[in-house]
């Protein structure tokens, strides 16, 4: 029997030829053993069957191992396996291009990430070549040619890194008074100019902080494989942030193709104003459909679209507005923009209200007007203030519960990126510390 078995195992050509069916197994048993006694034939068939299923098991596992990625993980695996924060998840979700293993957004991706809940349908990410990047360089406008439609004009002919994505998000929530502070944070030598190296400090700060956080999160969780030569190979590769090997669209726009230009405050301020205006125009045009104004109901939908209200609460606010303004005169883009710029000073407004009414009493439209002017230096139109009161005034007595208004508008201001507490005082402080600790850990 041992001799027969050795002969069977050595005849690999015979096995591979006939081992794909039951009939083939009988052929193997007959050709391998060819005994005169039926007992040997049945025994040979049993052995062949066992080896057949064993062979199929080996083939299946070999195919699985060949298909298993060793250096990269898919988006879904990344989102499930890592302790990513909301911004990281959103960046991965909306990034449509990749270059040398690192994910990038296009300018259009960024616009969609702050105005839409889901990215546009796509089969897969586009893998960029050096030729693509050279074309992007030619498409990037000079800093002097910046405009409120620059991102829409570039569309998908540019790239934005993850750290620049965070920087652009912060711009959307900056008040006019915060532009100078943001510029001074980059201007490390205090010469009223920011060069390329100073700007890249932002990337180093974000990338170091993120790498430390991921290392802590992945400690003991990242699986490693050890090769035959004893070298340990990491299965997981961080696709969000690595050292840049190319100049992004922002770097080319700010510092030129050679990277030798300096960024002045007035130019920096104009870029921030243009970006804020562009995003607001896109939101406004979504509802205006080419008309010069949107309805008061559309204005309410824009304010409430990023909040964490329950569906019945959302409907309650809209129905309340329809009952109080059956036929409105509409809200222009200038009015809409001025109100959104006021929302960027929401923290200052909260402080002003807290000082003005220590007992947390509701406020009137006149008090609201005065607090807005103190915080922003400008006045809102009476019609838009009246519309806001008709949305958030619970009982219609002309008084606004500013605490509820501020809590909901904070959701709108951060476009769903920042979870905020609806409470104040010690409870709010504890919730804030807890949220920040989660973000760090």
Final residue in a domain of this structure, among 16, 32, 67: 67
Identify whether residues 307 and 372 lie together within a single domain.
Answer: yes
pLDDT band at 52 (very low <50, low <70, confident <90, very high): low
Domain presence at residue 278: no
Spatial separation of the C-alpha atoms in residues 224 and 217, rounded to whole Å: 15
pLDDT at residue 14, rounded to an integer: 45
Out of 31-40, 123-132, 257-266, least confident range: 31-40
Share of residues in the chain with pLDDT > 90 (%): 40
Identify whether residues 409 and 372 lie together within a single domain.
Answer: yes
Identify whether residues 135 and 209 lie together within a single domain.
Answer: yes
Q: Is the pTM of this model over 0.85?
A: no
**Mean pLDDT, rounded, for 40-60:** 54
pLDDT at residue 374, rounded to an integer: 87
Identify whether residues 313 and 343 lie together within a single domain.
Answer: yes
**Mean pLDDT, rounded, for 214-242:** 44
Out of 43-52, 294-303, 345-354, least confident range: 43-52
Domain presence at residue 283: no
Identify whether residues 204 and 130 lie together within a single domain.
Answer: yes
Number of domains in the chain: 3
pLDDT band at 411 (very low <50, low <70, confident <90, very high): confident
Identify whether residues 63 and 113 lie together within a single domain.
Answer: no
Identify whether residues 250 and 364 lie together within a single domain.
Answer: no
Domain presence at residue 266: yes
Domain presence at residue 285: no
The domain of 37 spans 2-67
> Is the pLDDT score of 331 beyond 80?
yes
Select the more confidently predicted residue: 53 or 249: 249
pLDDT at residue 75, rounded to an integer: 52
pLDDT at residue 404, rounded to an integer: 81
For 125-166, how does the pLDDT look when each residue is reduced to its tens digit (9 = 90+)? 999 999 999 999 999 999 999 999 999 999 999 999 998 999
Domain presence at residue 433: yes
pLDDT band at 176 (very low <50, low <70, confident <90, very high): confident
Identify whether residues 128 and 191 lie together within a single domain.
Answer: yes
The DSSP-derived string for 49-87 is HHHHHHHHHHHHHHHHHHHS-SS---HHHHHHHS---HH
Identify whether residues 169 and 317 lie together within a single domain.
Answer: no
Identify whether residues 88 and 218 lie together within a single domain.
Answer: yes
Domain presence at residue 84: yes
Identify whether residues 42 and 95 lie together within a single domain.
Answer: no
Spatial separation of the C-alpha atoms in residues 299 and 428, rounded to whole Å: 29
How many helical (H) and strand (E) elements, i.e. helices and strands, does the chain have?
Answer: 22, 9
Identify whether residues 81 and 58 lie together within a single domain.
Answer: no
């Amino acid at each position: 029997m041992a001799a027969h078995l050795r002969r069977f195992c050595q005849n690999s050509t015979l096995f591979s030829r006939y081992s794909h069916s039951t009939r083939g197994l009988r052929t193997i048993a007959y050709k391998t053993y060819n005994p005169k006694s039926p007992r040997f034939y049945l025994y040979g068939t049993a052995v062949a069957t066992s080896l057949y299923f064993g062979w199929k098991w080996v083939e299946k596992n070999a195919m699985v191992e060949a298909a298993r990625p060793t250096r990269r993980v898919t988006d879904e695996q990344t989102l499930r396996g890592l302790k990513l924060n909301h911004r990281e998840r959103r960046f991965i979700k909306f990034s449509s291009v990749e270059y040398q293993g690192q994910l990038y957004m296009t300018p259009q991706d960024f616009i969609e990430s702050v105005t839409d809940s889901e990215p546009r349908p796509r089969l897969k990410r586009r893998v960029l070549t050096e030729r693509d990047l050279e074309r992007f360089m030619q498409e990037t406008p000079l800093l002097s040619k910046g405009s409120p439609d620059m991102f829409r004009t570039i569309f998908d002919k540019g790239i934005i890194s993850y750290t620049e994505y965070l920087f652009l998000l912060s711009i959307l929530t900056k008040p006019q008074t915060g532009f100078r502070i943001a510029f001074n944070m980059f201007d490390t030598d205090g010469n009223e100019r920011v060069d390329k190296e100073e700007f890249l400090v932002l990337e180093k700060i974000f990338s170091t902080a993120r790498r430390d956080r991921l290392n802590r999160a992945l400690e003991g969780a990242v699986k490693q494989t050890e090769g035959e030569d004893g070298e340990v190979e990491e299965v997981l590769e961080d696709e969000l942030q690595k050292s840049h090997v190319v100049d992004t669209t922002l770097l080319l726009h700010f510092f030129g193709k050679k990277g030798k230009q300096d960024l002045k405050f007035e130019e920096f301020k104009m870029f921030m104003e243009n970006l804020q205006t562009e995003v607001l125009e896109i939101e406004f045009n979504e509802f205006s459909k080419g008309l010069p104004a949107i309805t008061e109901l559309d204005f309410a939908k824009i304010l409430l679209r990023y909040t964490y209200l329950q569906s019945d609460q959302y409907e309650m606010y809209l129905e309340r507005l329809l009952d109080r303004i059956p036929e409105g005169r509409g809200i222009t883009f200038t009015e809409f923009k001025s109100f959104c710029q006021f929302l960027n000073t929401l923290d200052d407004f909260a402080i002003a209200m807290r000082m003005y009414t220590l007992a947390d009493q509701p406020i009137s439209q006149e008090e609201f007007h005065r607090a807005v002017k103190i915080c922003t230096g400008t006045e809102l139109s009476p019609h838009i203030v009246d519309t806001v009161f008709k949305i958030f005034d619970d009982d219609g007595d002309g008084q606004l519960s500013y605490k509820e208004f501020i809590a909901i508008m904070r959701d709108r201001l951060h476009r769903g990126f920042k979870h905020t507490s609806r409470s104040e005082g010690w409870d709010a402080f504890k919730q804030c510390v807890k949220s920040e600790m989660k973000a760090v850990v």
